[in-house]
Amino acid sequence: MTAITIPTLTRKTTMATAAATRKNMKEGSMADTDMADVTVYTKPAEPKIKVPKFVTNVIPGLISLVCGLAIWTFVSTYVLGQRAFLLPAPAKVLTGSLMLPDHFAPMMTALLLTTRVALFGLLLAFIIGVVTAIIMKHSKLAEKAIYPYAVILQTIPVLALVPLIGLWFGYGFASRTTVCVLFTLFPIISNTLFGLQNIDQGMVDLFQTRQASFRQRLWMLELPAALPSIFTGLKTSSGLSVVGAVVADMYFTQGTPGIGTLITVYTSRLQSTDLFAAIVMSAVLGLIVFEVFNKLSDMVIAHWHLTRSHE
C-alpha cells in the first residue's frame, strides 16, 4: 500500500491559498482552487452600496434632461450669438413666453382646441375602426374589399388630400377632425382585426360546443379577447391623434386657432420664444394623451393580460 502524503499546512501555505482565493473571488462568481480540474461557482461579491430601485429608474432620465437643457443653453448663448432667435435658450422660453400671461393664455386656448380636435378625431376613428374590423373579421369578402383601401389610408400623404378636404368640409373644425381621423384610423383597424383573428381556437371551440349565438360570441368572447390588441392600436393612435390635430391646425386655419395654427403664425413672425413655447406645449400634450391611454389600458386589462409597459 503506497503511503499517502499529506501536505503539511504551515501558516505560510494557508495564507497563500487564502490570498489566492480572495483574488479570484473579487472577480465575481468563479474561484479556482488549487485543484486544476474544477471550477467552483459561488455567490458573486455583493455591491458595496445598495441603490433603491426608483433612483435607477428616475436618475438617468433626469441626467439626460439636465444635459440636454445645458447643451441647448450653451448652443443658444455662445454658438449662435446674433442668430440666437433660431434657438432661444430654455430659460428665455420660460421667462419670455410661458410665464407671461398675455403670451401663455392664447397658447393655452389654442392647445385646448387642438386637444378637442384630437380627442374627437380619435373617438370617431375608434368607432369607425372597431366596427370596420368586426365586419372584416366576419366576412372574408369585406376584408379583401376594404383592406387595400385601409392601407392606402396609411400611406397617402395628408398634404395631397388637404385641398380636397378643404373643398368638401371647409377650413374649420370639421376638416381638422377629418385629417385627425385619417391619421388615426388605420392602426385601430389593423390592430383590432389582428386581435379578432387571433383568438385561441380552444375558446372558439368552447363557444361552439355551447352553440352560442353571434351576439354572444361577439360580446362575450371576441371583443374581450381582442381588447389587448385594441388597446395597442389605441395607444399608437393616441400619439398620432395629436400629430394629426397639430398638422390639421396648420392647414385649416379658419375659426379659433389651434396650437398648430399659432406655430405657423409665430414662425412667420419670427417670434421664436413663443414658437418654442408652443412646440413644448404640443409635446407635453402628446405625452399626456399617450399616458392617459396607457393608464386606461392598465386599468382595463392588466389584471389578466401581461403587456410590456414602460417603467
Among 85, 305, 307, 309, binds another protein (CB under 8 A): 305
Distance CA 230, CA 126 (A): 9
Cα dihedral: 181, 139, 146, 123 (round 10)? 0
Structure-block grid coordinates of residue 11 = 501558516
| C-beta separation of 278 from 263 below 8 A | yes
Among 202, 299, 308, 311, binds another protein (CB under 8 A): 202
Interaction between residue 210 and another protein (CB under 8 A): yes
Rounded to a whole number of angstroms, the minimum distance from the CB of residue 232 to another protein is 16
Closer of 120 and 194 to another protein (Cβ): 194
| C-beta separation of 7 from 13 below 8 A | yes
Among 84, 212, 218, 296, binds another protein (CB under 8 A): 212
Rounded to a whole number of angstroms, the minimum distance from the CB of residue 196 to another protein is 15
Interaction between residue 296 and another protein (CB under 8 A): no
Rounded to a whole number of angstroms, the minimum distance from the CB of residue 233 to another protein is 18
Distance CA 283, CA 88 (A): 17
Among 94, 203, 280, 296, binds another protein (CB under 8 A): 203
Maximum CA extent, the chain: 108
Rounded to a whole number of angstroms, the minimum distance from the CB of residue 224 to another protein is 5
The DSSP secondary-structure symbol of 83 reads: G
3-state helix, strand, coil split of the chain in percent (to 5) is 75, 0, 25
Distance CA 133, CA 100 (A): 47
Distance CA 223, CA 192 (A): 9
| C-beta separation of 282 from 108 below 8 A | no
Q: Binding segment for another protein among 60-68, 135-143, 146-154, 208-216 (CB under 8 A)?
A: 208-216
Among 139, 216, 254, 309, binds another protein (CB under 8 A): 216
Interaction between residue 218 and another protein (CB under 8 A): no
Q: Binding segment for another protein among 43-51, 119-127, 149-157, 207-215 (CB under 8 A)?
A: 207-215
Structure-block grid coordinates of residue 202 = 380552444
Among 27, 32, 34, 200, binds another protein (CB under 8 A): 200
HSE-up (13 A, CA, CB side) for residue 30: 3
Distances (CA, A) of 285 to 116, 119, 243: 11, 11, 10
Nearest to 133 by CA among 195, 179, 182, 180: 195
Helices 158-169 & 223-251 angle (0-180, nearest 10): 80
The DSSP secondary-structure symbol of 307 reads: -
Rounded to a whole number of angstroms, the minimum distance from the CB of residue 227 to another protein is 7
What does the per-residue mask of binding to another protein show for 139-158, with x meaning CB under 8 A? --------------------
Rounded to a whole number of angstroms, the minimum distance from the CB of residue 225 to another protein is 8
Interaction between residue 301 and another protein (CB under 8 A): yes
Interaction between residue 52 and another protein (CB under 8 A): no
Rounded to a whole number of angstroms, the minimum distance from the CB of residue 200 to another protein is 7
Rounded to a whole number of angstroms, the minimum distance from the CB of residue 234 to another protein is 17
- Binding residues vs another protein (CB under 8 A): 200, 202-203, 205-212, 216, 220-221, 224-225, 227, 301, 303-305
